[in-house]
Amino acid sequence: MTNDHAKSFDDLGIDDRVRRALDDVGYETPSPIQAATIPPLMAGRDVVGLAQTGTGKTAAFAVPILSRIDTSARKPAALVLAPTRELALQVAEAFGRYAVHIPELRVLPIYGGQSYGVQLSGLRRGAQVIVGTPGRVIDHLDKGTLDISELEFLVLDEADEMLTMGFAEDVERILSDTPDSKQVALFSATMPKAIGRLAQKYLHDPAEVTVKSSTSTAQNITQKFLQVSHQRKLDALTRVLEVEQFDGMIVFVRTKSATEELAEKLRARGHSAMAINGDMVQAQRERTINQLKDGSLDILVATDVAARGLDVDRISHVVNYDIPHDTESYVHRIGRTGRAGRSGTALLFVSPRERHLLRSIEKATRQSLTEIDLPSAEDVNAQRVARFADSITENLASDNLDLFRGLVENYAREHDVTMADIAAALALETRDGAFLMSPDPPPGERREREPRAERAPRGGGSFAAYRIAVGRKHKVTPGAIVGAIANEGGLSRGDFGNISIRDDYSIVELPADLDADTMALLKHTRIGRNSIDLRRDMGPPRTRGGGGHKGGPRDGNRRPNPKVAGRRGKY
């Protein structure tokens, strides 16, 4: 079933309190996936939805669940399974926004990487909506701390991604613990045979909804990308702001906390920047947007949700400081510029390990992004000198020039100082810190000044070999390894290099700079019933022949080989 007819939310029979919450977040009309999915879910039917991330599918299943759930019961009535902790948190936050006028409803995210104490407290308080990753849900089921025997609603979000990451067995185990009478909604970007079998086995006469995502970008928007490591993003953005001529700008980041942090750092560097995120009250949001419109504010640092519906003609540039994980979000972001027939510029920051996301965007939009170089210190200095000259020209036309000329001439006579020296001293007084940047070091010297770069493989990224205590005899697969480590450690698929599975252990290439907290979490992560005991791999003792791991990574500086088991491109 495909439904392309836009309706009003008033026509969908949803709870008035949920309808008010949708008004609060600025939803005016349902998206195609919402218009097609909410009616059958409100009627109690199971649903299979084919839709990409960014099409509004979270509201498509959250709205009917919140409209029909019994909030008087202090037990889990709805369970949403998501493949990653990032998505689980996003979904939980969305439920919270849509339930803002239902104070008795409790939403609890449960995922790897968070202490059990927080989750156990939430379960004891009686959360009605649980949003979790499969591995941590299984842990709570094994411990007896989560009871889903009376579940009424089950959602499988990004089901294809869950199966790709090796969660098929966990998902089936969870489904088997739920009552047959539950209502199921399954959402997937694609429909591989495994998803079809899952739907056929566990869903009852589901309504099938297919929605094509919008991937077209305006022709009047120039799209560029800059390859830059995560550590140098702020420096790169600062340089871009100095050399690029822009009117108004939106800088997109992934999290609410990042909006405040980046805006503060930009203000400290002399830029007119403010944050906008989902925590802002409506009056403050409107004030900030009006400042952007009237030119008293130049840079808005925003999340996707906060920028929804934002329409300001003055925005000439959009910067994707954090690359979006789906094409739909990218299209929506850059659509904030190039309004009212004007031209616009969209710049995307890409780290070496995120090149696969760039390729996905180019493939989906059928447009190539032009790579640009990081503005050099010489470029920045040339702009600073030009602005200094412009400020002199502007001030020469000031009505107060005669007053200050007299003061300066008096000072010159009394102290026997040249006019040029006085002008230089006054210019120095108005400049905070060094006026010109130090020249960039030659490429050969940068390795010595930036130790991190020494560890970077030739193909980009920074990988090192790690050993985990599970292998063939434990019947592990590359997908299961990626799924477990990604969820507990908060990693993405682009953070994995080679995976070489041996008899009783495996070697996995991960970022070389994993912090101590992440290492501690991963040390106790389990695949099935086995703790993986992750640690840095030092390789077997060297022999005279220079032996290393046969067929596997030994040196963290080596370029990953996509032909080895656990192909990096796939995971």
CATH 3.40.50.2020 for domain 221-376, yes or no, is no
Three-class SS state of 253: coil
Looking at residue 456, what is its pLDDT?
36
pLDDT score at 366: 81
Give the per-residue pLDDT at 260.
92
| Residue 469 buriedness (CB in 10 A; 0-12 / 13-18 / 19+) | middle
| CA–centroid distance for 38 within its chain | 27
Question: Which pLDDT belongs to residue 459?
Answer: 34
pLDDT at 402: 84
Distance, in Å, from the CA atom of 49 to the CA atom of 60, rounded to the nearest integer, reads 10
- Under-50 pLDDT residues of the chain: 1-6, 444-460, 541-571
pTM (whole model) above 0.85: no
Please give the pLDDT value at position 571. 31
Number of residues that make up the chain: 571
Asked if 221-376 and 461-571 have one fold, the answer is no
**267, 416, 433 from 239: Cα distances, Å:** 14, 40, 16
pLDDT tens digits along 259-279? 999 999 999 888 999 999 877
pLDDT tens digit string along 29-71?
788 889 999 999 999 999 999 876 556 788 999 999 999 999 8
The architecture of the domain spanning 461-571 is: 2-Layer Sandwich (3.30)
3.40.50.2300, 3.10.20.90, 3.40.50.300, 3.20.20.100: which CATH number matches 9-210? 3.40.50.300
**CA distance linking residue 60 with residue 39, whole number of Å:** 10
Distances (CA, A) of 18 to 66, 80, 126, 285: 7, 18, 21, 21
Q: What b/e readout covers 127-153, taking b as 16+ CB neighbours within 10 angstroms?
A: bbbbbbbbbbbbbbbeeeebebeebbb
Sheet harboring 78-81: ordered strands across?
107-110, 129-132, 78-81, 153-156, 183-188, 47-50, 207-210
Q: Name the nearest CA neighbour of 267 among 231, 303, 241.
A: 241
> What is the reported pLDDT for 482?
85
> Dihedral sign, CA of 69, 112, 489, 516?
positive
The structural domains of the chain, with segments of one domain joined by +, span 9-210, 221-376, 378-429, 461-571
